[in-house]
């Protein structure tokens, strides 16, 4: 994590810094977080660290254990299913309701993101490519222009990204497969093929969820303590 020197917006920047480290698995599920350690790493006092951890607990990314401390929330199969079920319901609804009214500019916006993802994947920048895939899904939500749906989606987005980070980390060829699936989804959107787009979207989300469950079972079967730093 990078040290923070700018006093302005300090609290929010600390929160975003710690949150990114959790989502990207630099801070491991089950790992204990101490205010002093984080304060030392970020070069700040403990007060804004404490506030950031409270916000992260509200978002479900950490949990407080009385008399023991703060821990990064573990990855749970049931929560993963719930997150992906909610995500699928929201994205499919937006595709179903909005497809016929997508403008030429809307289509170009989707195409621009997809072109970036393809270019970055071809350059070997898989992390950037996959983050662009996530932006593609967010665009599906935002094009609906429904603030309540956007709020609900935002509420699960951080937890969703953490599960996706896990899948990418422990599933070979996940980014390549996702790139292929997004191209098929993009083609359906270009045709304004509602049923085709919903089919491709549902298949993509189902395979990502399946990859998470499979990866976790393999790791559990090997009885590997993957969340302990060497």
Question: Residue 185: pLDDT above 60?
Answer: yes
pLDDT in tens, 73-85: 999 999 999 999 9
pLDDT in tens, 69-122: 999 999 999 999 999 999 999 999 999 999 999 999 999 999 999 999 999 999
- The C-alpha angle 155, 160, 162, rounded to 5 degrees, equals 120
Question: Residue 22: pLDDT above 50?
Answer: yes
Mean pLDDT of the chain: 90
pLDDT band, very low/low/confident/very high, at 6 (cuts 50, 70, 90): low
Closest CA to 159 of 55, 63, 53, 84: 84
**Beta strands per DSSP E along the chain:** 32-33, 62-65, 69-72
pLDDT band, very low/low/confident/very high, at 214 (cuts 50, 70, 90): confident
Cα dist. 116→44, 136, 225 in Å?
36, 10, 36
Question: Residue 221: pLDDT above 60?
Answer: no
What are the tokens at 170? 């422990």
What are the tokens at 1? 């994590």
What are the tokens at 137? 């899904």
Domains of the chain and any CATH numbers: 10-72 (1.10.10.10), 77-221 (1.20.120.530)
């Amino acid at each position: 994590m990078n040290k923070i020197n700018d006093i302005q917006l300090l609290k929010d920047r600390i929160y975003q810094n710690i949150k990114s480290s959790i989502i990207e698995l630099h801070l491991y599920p089950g790992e204990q977080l101490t205010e002093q350690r984080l304060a030392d790493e970020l070069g700040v006092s403990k007060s804004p660290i404490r506030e950031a951890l409270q916000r992260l607990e509200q978002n479900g990314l950490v949990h407080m254990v009385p008399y023991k401390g703060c821990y990064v929330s573990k990855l749970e199969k049931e929560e993963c299913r719930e997150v992906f079920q909610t995500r699928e319901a929201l994205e499919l609804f937006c595709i179903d309701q909005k497809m016929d009214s997508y403008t030429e500019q809307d289509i170009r916006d989707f195409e621009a993101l997809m072109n970036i993802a393809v270019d970055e994947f071809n350059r070997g920048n898989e992390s950037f490519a996959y983050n662009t895939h996530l932006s593609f899904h967010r665009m599906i939500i935002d094009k609906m222009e429904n603030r309540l749906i956007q709020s609900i989606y935002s509420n699960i987005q951080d937890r969703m990204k953490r599960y996706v980070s896990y899948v990418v980390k422990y599933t070979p060829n996940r980014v390549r497969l996702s790139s292929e699936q997004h191209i098929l989804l993009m083609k359906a959107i270009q045709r304004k093929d509602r049923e085709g787009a919903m089919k491709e979207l549902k298949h993509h989300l189902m395979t990502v969820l399946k990859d998470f469950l499979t990866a976790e079972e393999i790791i559990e079967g090997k009885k590997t303590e993957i969340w302990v730093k060497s």
